[in-house]
Amino acid sequence: MGVFKIIVIVIQVLVCSALIISVLLHSGKGGGLASVLGGASASLFSGTSIVEKNLDRITIVLGIVFAICTLLLVWLMNPSSTTTAPTTTPSSAAAIARLLLIIGG
């Protein structure tokens, strides 16, 4: 596996984790996780305050970086071959047959 591919995978995992956290921090109609973590200060930051706007911007940037990393990983993981039909070797066909026997019973 190439170094660039590993770097993109690490960035993807970090961005994914940060995106989940930033989405959970948004205050929804019921207050969400932001009110749980903020306690009484959640009422101070409700509405369209500076904190909420910055959280929106961070979430948008993380979403864009996540999409770019996903497209990069699809491009990097796609084997470049000139044939359109998938080729299977006898060893992979035997492995698939063994797997089907295990699953089937």
The predicted model scores a pTM of 0.58
Q: What angle do CA 68, 83, 89 make, to 5 degrees?
A: 105
Distance CA 10, CA 26 (A): 25
> Domain locations in the chain?
3-82
User: Contact, 22 vs 58, CB < 8 A?
Assistant: yes
- Residue range 49-82, pLDDT digits in tens: 788 888 989 999 999 999 999 999 998 888 775 4
Structure tokens at 55: 């959280």
pLDDT of residue 82: 47
User: Contact, 23 vs 59, CB < 8 A?
Assistant: yes
Diameter over CA atoms, the chain: 66
